[in-house]
Structure 1
Amino acid sequence: MRRYGIDILSAALLCLATVCFMVGCGQNNAESDDGDNTVNVGRQSTDTMEETVTEASLPAELSQIPAEYYREADQQGTLTELEYDTYESMSYEEQDQTLHKRAIVYLPYGYDESQRYPVFYLMHGGWSDETVYLGTPDQPRRFKNVLDYGIADGKIRPMIVVCPTYNNESESDSGNYSLALRLTDNYHNELINDLIPAVEGTYSTYAEDTSPEGLEASRDYRAFCGFSMGSVTTWHTFEYCLDYFRYFMPSSGNLTSDGEYMASIVKDSGHTWNDFFIFAASGTDDFAYGAFKNQIEAMEAVDDGTFRYADNEREGNLYFLEQEGGTHSGEYAEEYFYNGLCWIWQ
């Protein structure tokens, strides 16, 4: 049986409702303290003769974001607000209560509708919303500058970054821990049926169309990432949406201690080990670190080959980096995102 969400409520993680929400799970606390017309991101591997999309290897240790990346870049991407309709989370299947929601969308410098771009979905944590990482068009936040600089320097592939929210009827929903657990578990309905079609029906991506078949066919160029409760959402996306995403980047928020359950997700979906990659990260002084690392180790311990630990997707599909002394804060969340962004689709 799946054991999720509540597994992280060990004595340390009971602090989540107070400590984490006071600092904002995933909120940018550091800011207050602190040939063809496609983007060519994949080719055939001659080593394994298996199709790989990201040819690069992940680093042996986490890289810090260069200090200059926090300043405004000369070549700046654009933030836009994408509005779309969805349904109230708890009664989604009945579809009797429509909600009007917003996502913040980052378009890279030089965005060209004649090109195709991969899409990176970045979910916030507790006590936060869709503006926490990139801000708004009128008030961008510093991680938007990191994207601008990273793309200009060639460290990050030009991509579309989407910051949505699992908040439901209230902007404060993510501040209620038990409610947030339920909303993250339900979020896949909105994600697949409403958000992705809205995004990828508006902007130029690898999806030929936004039908289920079109979204499945373009899964190699879609990633989901999040920190803290956003990480829980990322695990749920892996749980429910493996047909639609190839890459998953959870950090400092676990789903379960049951590695066999995680393996069953893959086997029941019909996917194989080389159909996905999970890049996980956390800090050793992060109160979510113990439970998060336990999940990664439980997955690695499954002996049927479902999860293969490696720093590249030619040889495996699971990799974990930890930051010595890293705490549960926006500063470290940004570092984890940056390291994943520098690797994916390279």
Structure 2
Amino acid sequence: MDYVFEMPGEMLVEAEKKGRVELLEYDSNTYDEENRTLHKKAWVYLPYDYDETKNYNILYLLHGGGFTQDWWLKLFPDTVTILDNMIEKKLCDSCIVVTPTFYHDEDDKHTKDESRCENFCHELRKDLIPAAESKYAGFSGKDVSEENLIKTRDHRAFAGLSLGSMTTYRAAFYNNFDLFAWYGPFSGCCGPFGDHEVEVKRICETLEKGKENGYDLKFMLCCNGDKDIAFEEHKDIMEKAVAKSDLLIQDKNYDFFIISGGVHDMKAWQLHMYHALQVFFKN
């Protein structure tokens, strides 16, 4: 695809056809914290032409460290404007965007425990996806049995920024590859204290096991700025993974978009989302 390195101005002008944002509330019992039920919230973007009788692809889109479900659509409402314009101008098909949080509650967002990235895989599978897709018109047709969610994986994507990029690998890719076919890690894979070789091994094993079970990677669009604090580790890991795995093929099911001079900020992440939605759900 043809990349741009700055958000086109027309994407930030209020669109004529506006989608809407709704609050999704659900309970999670997957963490077993003294048998405590966690009451969780996620924001859901619905396109202007949302129709309960149709089927929509769904992007699950995650924030970074220290923030919550409010990040993408509420703290940065121009994300909604970008989505409206992309759909109105047919840069991407009408889709649903769900922005959850991997934190357990407001207090938990102050934790420095990166295990949240991996542990979110259970809530994602057992609570969030069933809650979202039993309410909204995804390709699962509101049948949220595990068998049907697996069958409809080609219509589900996961992306996230910074700590949410790490979560894209750990919760969605490594642990729920049977539920997602499209991935957008924006800014990082393992963080400054991770083991690059371990990540490369996990990436390759996920793809190999997926192939054995009949699940292919439709596309992974890694994104980063070359001045981003997470750039070098992300680039190193993915270069090694591409060299090692014949299931990760440049321009066929993989690319690494780099913003020259790009840093660890929302301007870059919105541009990553803009590009990812032009790739996701296309094959």
- TM-score norm. by structure 1 comes to 0.75
Residue 153 of structure 1, aligned match among 70, 89, 92: 89
TM superposition shift of 1:145 = 0.5
Secondary structure at the aligned position of 2:15 is classed as coil
Residue 13 of structure 2 is aligned to residue 79 of structure 1: no
Counterpart residue number, 1:196: 129
Structure 1 unaligned residues grouped into runs of 5+: 1-57, 311-315
For the aligned residue pairs, the C-alpha RMSD in angstroms reads 1.8
Name the CA distance, whole Å, in 1 between partners of 2:138 and 2:263: 35
Secondary structure at the aligned position of 1:266 is classed as helix
TM superposition shift of 1:172 = 4.4
The 8 Å contact of residues 62 and 336 in structure 1, kept in 2 or not, is answered as no
Residue 134 of structure 2 is aligned to residue 222 of structure 1: no
Residue 3 of structure 2 is aligned to residue 64 of structure 1: no
Identity of aligned residues (%): 31
The 8 Å contact of residues 115 and 204 in structure 1, kept in 2 or not, is answered as yes
Residue 118 of structure 1, aligned match among 52, 57, 63: 57
Name the CA distance, whole Å, in 2 between partners of 1:109 and 1:63: 27
Deviations 1:210-243 (A, max 9, x none): 0000100100000000110010110011000000
Deviations 1:246-289 (A, max 9, x none): 00000112135222331112223434684432110100100110
Secondary structure at the aligned position of 1:201 is classed as helix
Secondary structure at the aligned position of 2:45 is classed as strand
- Greater CA deviation, 258-267 or 326-335? 258-267
- TM-score norm. by structure 2 comes to 0.91
Name the CA distance, whole Å, in 1 between partners of 2:30 and 2:153: 26
Secondary structure at the aligned position of 2:83 is classed as helix
Name the CA distance, whole Å, in 2 between partners of 1:302 and 1:174: 36
The structure that has the greater radius of gyration is 1
The 8 Å contact of residues 207 and 216 in structure 2, kept in 1 or not, is answered as no
TM superposition shift of 1:164 = 0.2
Give the number of equivalent residue pairs: 273
The 8 Å contact of residues 5 and 259 in structure 2, kept in 1 or not, is answered as no
Counterpart residue number, 2:165: 231
Counterpart residue number, 2:262: 326
Answer 1 or 2: higher relative contact order, Cα 8 Å, separation at least 6: 1
Secondary structure at the aligned position of 1:242 is classed as coil
Name the CA distance, whole Å, in 2 between partners of 1:273 and 1:302: 19
Name the CA distance, whole Å, in 1 between partners of 2:241 and 2:110: 29
Name the CA distance, whole Å, in 2 between partners of 1:213 and 1:274: 17
Secondary structure at the aligned position of 2:72 is classed as coil
Counterpart residue number, 2:184: 249
More strand per residue? 2
TM superposition shift of 1:63 = 4.4
Counterpart residue number, 1:8: none
